[in-house]
Chains A and B, each alone.
Chain A
Amino acid sequence: MISILVRRILSLVVTLFVVSLLIFTVMGLLPGDPAAIMLGTSASPETLAALQKQLGLDQPLPVRYLAWLAGVFRGDLGQSYTYGVPVAGLIAERLAVTIPLALIAIVISVLVAVPLGVQAARSHNGAFDFVAGLFSYIGIAVPAFWVGLLLIILFSSMLGWMPAGGFPGWDAGLFAGLEALVLPAVALALPQAGVLTRVARAAVLEVMNEDFVRTARAKGLSDGTAIWRHAVPNALVPVVTMLGLQFTFLIAGAVLVENVFNLPGLGRLAYQALSQRDIVVMQDVVLFFSGLVILMNFVVDLAYLAIDPRLRAGAQ
């Protein structure tokens, strides 16, 4: 067990390292001078040279990469040009919105998808199966940011029950904070739920007729108990896998949904950095998001080991 863990962590570190190197190189090779982009066309040559020096652009690419990497280990991601504050602090501040948003969305999608998928599998080819299938088709096809717009139209402009956007900050209280995140999280959860319902249904269908579920029924458990206690836990592995695979799309969705609801999260930060041409912030946010996706896949890998004892045995 320990040796698997060590191997996985080593591979994680190597991947993170390569990703950072790759993104850094691509950014370095792209045409356009970041300093010139950030200052716009009206900048004097002196200001340009000063900013180039401040960003370290007068140094060769490998030196810049190593300096950046050393900074990361010290928790220093550089200065935001537009905000004039350290990027690390900026990211940390925005994470307080994005992480709860993503987590609530994941919880909602699992709570919707697993029961739906299980029931669909139980009524295989029946009416409920059809409805669940329709739900997942629609969920997958509908853009999260559009669902966000529809929710705003319904719950804030028509019914007036919910705020149309913005975030009061966690200082305003847990409830106010959560209230601002409910609609965005639902919008973000719908496409995920569509995908997960399919996966849960297929997974339950696959194990439903296995011997151990039949045995559970034979020993007198009701159909429902047999499935929930014996089939569903076995069907969770693919669901967790899909959650990991979908994480990239969850993040992409969060970038859009944060912009619809005007939430000061990481996705909004990336967008603002783009419109203000704050290259340093952009680069750090992209790297951070990519790191998060990789880390998530790592966590999913570990979750397998926790969920499925067969994998533990197999890996040794």
Chain B
Amino acid sequence: MRKAFRRPVFLIGLFISLALFSVALLSLVWTPFPPTKMNIVQKLKAPLEFGLLGTDQFGRDVASALMVGAWNSLSTSILAVALGASIGTMAGVVVAMRRGWLELIVMRGCDIIFAVPPILSAMMLGAFIGSGRFTAIVAIAVFMVPVFARLTLSAALQIWTRDYVAAAVGMGRSKATITRVHVLPNISNQIIVQVTIQLGLAILTEAGLSFLGLGMPPPAPTWGRMLADSQTFLGQAPWLALMPGLAIALAVLGLNMLGDGLRDLLDPRDDS
């Protein structure tokens, strides 16, 4: 634990991530103004001229919208990563257990899924089942599956070569039990690190999807759509394009730093 306080990357990452989560949670109970309430008289006000960060073309408070946007972005991303990580991890440990033709099929499948960027699968899904949060979650989750399947497989295969696993096999433990008792607990650190980093990637992707109108439908504020809307007013109100982008970048930066910090911290080989 003391080690944690000597890692600036970890600390900064933790701080930003906690701030992000707090703001997102706070938005559920309090925002400076109702985030979707229009107030045309106060439209396109600069930061501090009205509210903390100004208003958009309908006079809606930017700071409030950003707060709710944090919740919308985070909750979508968390659901997507949770879904993708569980399926991917499950596939990875099962393949590590069985090997053979199953490994070939799953890994080739991963290559194929990886070839379709989530933006495009969201477009395809959007065309058929309509765009919205569900589409965004599925598109991002599908892309996460190969990431976690590959990671889990390679990590789990290493565990399967260990002596204590050989001992467990010798004792007649079933493969499923070994996976549960020995493999999963020993690879969980790597999965946690990856979840953190992929959460950042999911936020980035979700922002891209809502930018294209493939995320949560209006009037729910999302960082991506705030950026899309700001395009019309780049000359008049450039700050509208500044804040949501900064929010995305900061959120991703924080999660990436937290992930890197965790990786350092959880690595048992490194005691420096």
Residue positions of A touching B, CB distance < 8 A? 15, 18-19, 22-23, 26-27, 30-32, 37, 137-138, 140-143, 145-146, 149-150, 152-153, 157, 164, 248-249, 251-252, 255-256, 259-260, 270-271, 274-275, 277, 279, 282-283, 285-286, 289-291, 293-294, 297
Which residues of chain B have a CB within 8 Å of any CB of chain A?
108, 111-112, 114-121, 123-129, 200, 204-205, 207-208, 211-213, 227, 230-231, 234-235, 238, 241-242, 244-245, 248-250, 252-253, 256-257
B117 touches A252 (CB 8 A): yes
Chain B residue nearest to A295 in the complex (CB) = B115
Interface of chain B: mostly helix, strand, loop or mixed? helix
Which of B115, B207, B227, B242 makes the CB contact (< 8 A) with A19?
B115
Q: How far is the CA of A9 from the CA of B116 in the complex (A)?
A: 20
- Give the chain A neighbours of B234 by CB distance below 8 A: 149, 152-153, 157, 164
The 10 closest A-B pairs by CB, nearest first: A146-B245, A141-B253, A141-B252, A252-B117, A30-B128, A293-B115, A32-B128, A290-B115, A157-B235, A252-B119
Across the interface, B231 reaches (CB within 8 A) one of A18, A248, A249, A260, namely: A260
C-alpha gap A297/B114 in the complex (Å): 11
Q: Which residue of chain A has the shortest Cβ distance to B117 in the bound complex? A: A252
Beyond contacts A15-B112, A19-B115, A23-B124: 20 other A-B pairs, Cβ-Cβ < 8 A, are A31-B129, A37-B127, A142-B245, A143-B249, A150-B245, A248-B115, A252-B117, A256-B119, A274-B127, A275-B213, A282-B127, A283-B124, A285-B120, A286-B116, A286-B123, A286-B124, A290-B115, A293-B114, A294-B111, A297-B115
Q: How far, in whole Å, are A20 and B131 apart by their CA atoms in the complex?
A: 23
Chain A residue, CB-CB nearest to B257: A137
For A18, the closest partner residue in chain B by CB is B112
Q: What DSSP secondary structure best describes chain A's contact surface? A: helix
Is B129 a contact partner of A255 (Cβ separation < 8 A)?
no
- Contact between A255 and B117 (Cβ–Cβ < 8 Å)? yes
A279–B123 Cα distance when bound, in Å, is 10
Closest to B205 in A: A252
